[in-house]
């Protein structure tokens, strides 16, 4: 995936987190210390609106993604709803002075509820984009890592802008300054949403199943990986948002300086960025399940260190270490969670036939919001139970201890439960690759069936097989086995069109000498990727899923268009597997010993033997990898063919006779 696309996607999360982290980091303190709402009431508002947000996520998840447009099925929601999101955010942080306590609670509750609706209809399509942008697990980890870094950096910037304002919440004009800062940040977010909309692209086709709440829930019931992920998310987000709810209090009342909040968040961000940049490597080396459990252990250690920080300015060094370790653990698990969720979309489609990027993400988001609400409620309830007094010049020793409990011990316990849950995550990397391969094959077969129903030369038989009414022959060869000579003469004898390979030897040779980034388009980039070393080929396959999807779609359409009216003889193009279910077609493999093939290629092409040998080594490898990569079959497997002819022993003209005879026999002796 191009870096610019990853960056555009990440900037969308910067925009998201301008609003999301405004509420998660500062709303509790804004309600208690500026709007004048009690800690218990603020915690209740926080809990209610987060659970309400989970409900709106479910609605959004089963609304977005239903309709394809020329911009995609997810991206239009981001650009159309984000202005409403910005308006509700500004209103929420603009509570008028002089309202009664009840009216103040109602104001915040109303606009927070409206904000959550808008946020759902922006964030659900945004979060679902990673599953629609690529089917590749490693690229999804890149996207998840990028958005985690973006989220962390946004938090630091907000901390620098807003945290110092809570040092003296009784200052003149504090409400107006807070409103103006929110307006500026909202405008910045709208610009970033536009960049995200323009710079991303949806390439994974929508599944055949109809997307409704009932089909989503049916998919979820059979999607064990998603259920396990949701359970872990409930505990993990409960831990993180118990901490978030009281983090500003921790800086101001435990460390003695609200400005310390910025440095704590910076330490957390450094930890998050360090681990997020390694998420792709962790995915490859350890696997997502083991990586998640190990990183959750880091989060537990960070929370325990937070609980042990001594009161006063002398505790800042330990607090910075604690938040750095916590950033590694929480940032890493969060990034892997998003990557794993994208994989569960594929699992759900494979299991039920319903591809529901938005629905799957909304289920996880609903659970995450419940965890956030529970965490915020616990944070407010704990500090309230320990005697926190809003607006007091100094908090009691009991209240300070309550802040430590809410910031450290409670989240540590919840994080242990998250690690235990994810240790049961059942979807490994090998199984996911097999699932993606099978889904692509299903889509190819679906495209074949859809086209065949309108064909004149290819129709359905009584048992659902395709039946050829004109001669169809597919020819696959080892390099130099004589396919072009044989196929052209077979086509002449049968009176049908001849179609050669899509990529010639010259195409492959030119691609091998093209420098990275200098290709002329996706097809050229696809060919160039096979000129690398074996390890680099694996990496390129992982990075080119988008190109693969388009090439598969185009190749299937071309093969079917070739044979539908008048039959044909087709060399390569994976026609053997595309037309495997067509009764009356004959599938042929031509092969020969290496020495015989090199000699024939050198003679036919008028090149030296060393050049012919290099071509033979390249093409035998590349053409096999193409078939495995795009259509997931092995051309060397004799089980795919009706005839396997060794042209080292059988003269090419005799091979022509045998193929023609086989085609005539297959079709009852007629031509």
Q: Which of 420-434, 451-465, 482-496, 613-627 is predicted most confidently?
A: 482-496
pLDDT tens, residue by residue, 107-135: 989 999 999 899 889 888 887 777 678 76
Band of residue 569 on the pLDDT scale cut at 50, 70, 90: very high
**Domain co-membership, 454 together with 375:** no
Q: Which of 60-64, 216-220, 229-233, 321-325 is predicted most confidently?
A: 321-325
Q: What is the DSSP letter of 1?
A: -
**Pairing label, strands 498-499, 458-460:** unpaired
Q: Which of these ranges, 4-8, 128-132, 342-346, 452-456, has the smallest mean pLDDT?
A: 452-456
**Domain co-membership, 446 together with 380:** no
**Domain co-membership, 389 together with 512:** no
Question: Does 2 map to a domain?
Answer: no
The CATH code of the domain that includes 629 is: 3.40.50.300
Q: Say what the pLDDT of residue 540 is.
A: 34
The residue out of 390, 405, 427 marking a domain boundary is 427
Structure tokens at 655: 């091979």
Structure tokens at 290: 């083991």
Q: Say what the pLDDT of residue 107 is.
A: 92
**Domain co-membership, 448 together with 420:** no
Band of residue 464 on the pLDDT scale cut at 50, 70, 90: very low
Domain that holds residue 581: 437-666
Question: Does 465 map to a domain?
Answer: yes
The residue out of 427, 452, 480 marking a domain boundary is 427
Nearest Cα residue to 593 out of 640, 638, 648: 648
**Domain co-membership, 377 together with 468:** no
**Domain co-membership, 114 together with 253:** yes
pLDDT tens, residue by residue, 41-85: 887 887 788 778 878 877 887 777 667 777 888 888 889 899 999
Q: Say what the pLDDT of residue 21 is.
A: 76
Q: Say what the pLDDT of residue 420 is.
A: 92
**Domain co-membership, 317 together with 464:** no
**Domain co-membership, 444 together with 542:** yes
**Domain co-membership, 212 together with 102:** yes
Question: Does 432 map to a domain?
Answer: no
The residue out of 396, 427, 458 marking a domain boundary is 427
**Domain co-membership, 360 together with 450:** no
pLDDT tens, residue by residue, 542-564: 334 445 556 777 777 788 877 87
Question: Does 469 map to a domain?
Answer: yes
Helix segments in 277-315, DSSP class H: 279-285, 288-307
User: What is the number of domains present in the chain?
Assistant: 2
Please tell me the pTM assigned to this model. 0.54
Q: What is the mean pLDDT of the chain?
A: 78
Question: Does 47 map to a domain?
Answer: yes
Nearest Cα residue to 139 out of 664, 545, 569, 570: 545
**Pairing label, strands 643-646, 582-591:** parallel
Question: Does 630 map to a domain?
Answer: yes
Nearest Cα residue to 468 out of 565, 346, 345, 400: 565
Please report which helix (H) or strand (E) contains residue 527, including its range. helix 522-528
Nearest Cα residue to 144 out of 122, 156, 126, 159: 126
Backbone angles phi, psi at 467, to 5 degrees: -125, 125
pLDDT tens, residue by residue, 150-190: 777 777 777 777 766 666 656 667 788 878 888 988 999 99
Q: Is the pLDDT of residue 515 over 50?
A: no
| Between 415 and 618, the higher pLDDT residue | 415
Q: Say what the pLDDT of residue 587 is.
A: 93
> What does each C-alpha distance from 658 to 468, 482, 662, 666 come to in angstroms?
20, 14, 6, 12
**Domain co-membership, 405 together with 441:** no
Band of residue 452 on the pLDDT scale cut at 50, 70, 90: very low
Question: Does 283 map to a domain?
Answer: yes
Structure tokens at 156: 């630091």
Backbone angles phi, psi at 310, to 5 degrees: -70, 155
Q: Is the pLDDT of residue 296 over 50?
A: yes
Torsion over CA: 275, 280, 285, 290 (sign): positive
Question: Does 671 map to a domain?
Answer: no
Q: Which of these ranges, 19-33, 229-243, 321-335, has the smallest mean pLDDT?
A: 19-33
The CATH code of the domain that includes 245 is: 1.20.1250.20
Q: Is the pLDDT of residue 87 over 90?
A: yes
Q: Is the pLDDT of residue 531 over 70?
A: no
Band of residue 488 on the pLDDT scale cut at 50, 70, 90: very high
**Domain co-membership, 389 together with 492:** no
């Amino acid at each position: 995936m191009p870096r610019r696309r990853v960056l555009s996607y990440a900037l969308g999360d910067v925009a998201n987190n301008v609003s999301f982290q405004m509420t998660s980091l500062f709303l509790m303190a804004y309600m208690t210390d500026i709007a004048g709402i009690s800690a218990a009431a603020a915690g209740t508002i926080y809990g209610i609106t987060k659970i309400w947000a989970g409900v709106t996520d479910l609605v959004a998840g089963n609304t977005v993604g239903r309709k394809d447009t020329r911009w995609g099925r997810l991206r239009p929601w981001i650009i159309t709803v984000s202005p409403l999101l910005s308006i509700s955010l500004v209103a929420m942080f603009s509570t008028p002075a002089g309202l009664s306590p009840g009216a103040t609670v109602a104001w915040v509750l109303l606009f927070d509820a409206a904000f959550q609706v808008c946020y759902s209809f922006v964030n659900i399509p945004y979060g679902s984009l990673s599953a629609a942008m690529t089917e590749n697990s490693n690229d999804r980890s890149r996207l998840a890592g990028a958005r985690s870094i973006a989220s962390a950096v946004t938090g630091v910037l907000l901390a620098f802008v807003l945290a110092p304002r809570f040092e003296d919440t009784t200052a003149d004009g504090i409400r107006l300054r807070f409103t103006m800062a929110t307006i500026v940040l909202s405008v910045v977010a709208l610009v970033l949403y536009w960049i995200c909309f323009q710079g991303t692209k949806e390439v994974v086709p929508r599944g055949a199943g109809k997307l409704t709440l009932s089909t989503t829930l049916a998919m979820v019931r059979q999607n064990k990986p998603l259920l396990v992920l949701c359970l872990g998310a409930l505990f993990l987000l409960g831990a993180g948002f118990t901490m978030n709810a009281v983090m500003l209090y921790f800086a101001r009342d435990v460390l003695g300086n609200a400005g310390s909040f910025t440095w704590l968040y910076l330490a957390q961000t450094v930890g998050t960025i360090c681990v997020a940049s390694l998420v792709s490597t962790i995915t490859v080396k350890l696997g997502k399940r083991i990586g998640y459990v190990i990183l959750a252990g880091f989060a537990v250690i960070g929370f325990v260190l937070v609980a042990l920080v001594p009161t006063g300015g002398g505790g800042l060094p330990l607090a910075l270490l604690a938040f750095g370790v916590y950033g590694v653990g929480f940032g890493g698990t969060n990034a892997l969670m998003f990557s794993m969720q994208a994989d569960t979309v594929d699992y759900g489609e494979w299991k039920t036939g319903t591809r529901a990027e938005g629905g799957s993400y909304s289920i996880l988001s609903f659970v995450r919001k419940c965890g956030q609400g529970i965490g915020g409620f616990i944070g407010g309830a704990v500090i309230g139970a320990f005697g926190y007094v809003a607006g007091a010049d100094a908090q009691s020793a009991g209240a300070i201890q309550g802040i430590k409990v809410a910031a450290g011990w409670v989240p540590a316990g919840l994080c242990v439960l998250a690690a235990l849950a994810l240790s049961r995550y059942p979807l490994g990397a090998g199984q996911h690759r097999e699932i993606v391969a099978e889904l692509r094959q299903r889509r190819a077969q679906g495209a074949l069936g859809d086209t065949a129903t309108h064909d004149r030369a290819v129709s359905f038989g009584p048992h659902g097989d395709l039946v050829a009414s004109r001669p169809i022959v597919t020819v696959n060869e080892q390099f130099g086995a004589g396919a072009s000579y044989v196929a052209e003469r077979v086509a002449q004898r049968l009176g049908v069109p001849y179609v050669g390979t899509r990529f010639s030897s010259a195409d492959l040779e030119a691609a091998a000498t093209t420098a990275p980034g200098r290709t002329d388009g996706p097809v050229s980039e696809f060919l160039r990727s096979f000129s690398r070393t074996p390890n680099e080929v694996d990496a390129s396959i992982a990075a080119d899923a988008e190109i693969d999807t388009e090439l598969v779609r185009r190749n299937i359409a071309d093969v079917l268009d070739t044979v539908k009216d008048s039959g044909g003889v087709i060399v390569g193009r994976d026609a053997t597997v595309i037309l495997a279910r067509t009764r009356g077609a004959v599938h042929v493999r031509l092969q020969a010993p290496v020495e015989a093939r090199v000699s024939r290629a050198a003679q036919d092409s008028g090149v030296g033997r060393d050049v012919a040998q290099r071509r033979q080594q390249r093409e035998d490898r590349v053409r096999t990898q193409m078939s495995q990569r795009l259509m997931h079959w092995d051309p060397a497997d004799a089980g795919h063919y009706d005839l396997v002819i060794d042209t080292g022993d059988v003269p090419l003209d005799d091979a022509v006779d045998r193929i023609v005879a086989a085609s005539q026999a297959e079709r009852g002796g007629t031509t």
